Structure 1
């Protein structure tokens, strides 16, 4: 159980990116009436940005 928990916590920046940052980006785009590029949905755009940013943070070990 500790090994599973350690693996899940190691991926927390990625989960934060897709679970918090992606919906936040989509909601801000809705609020400001900004269309997503390439004719994709706003949440898909948010998932691309948030997931990518979380993955980069996970690999680097920091957000900035």
Structure 2
């Protein structure tokens, strides 16, 4: 919808494994917002600034 309206938006992606998350983060660029599925109210969301820090929030999710 944003694209159709000409409104800019950040790159994004979905991942189901740590390796997929690293691949997506490398494609969209850091920092990335890591958001676990099935959580409400932003709980356990993390901003990750580099690859070595990406494994920590994902393994805790």
TM (normalized to structure 1)? 0.34
**Larger gyration radius, structure 1 or structure 2:** 1
Higher helix share: 1
Relative contact order, higher structure (CA 8 A, sep 6+)? 1
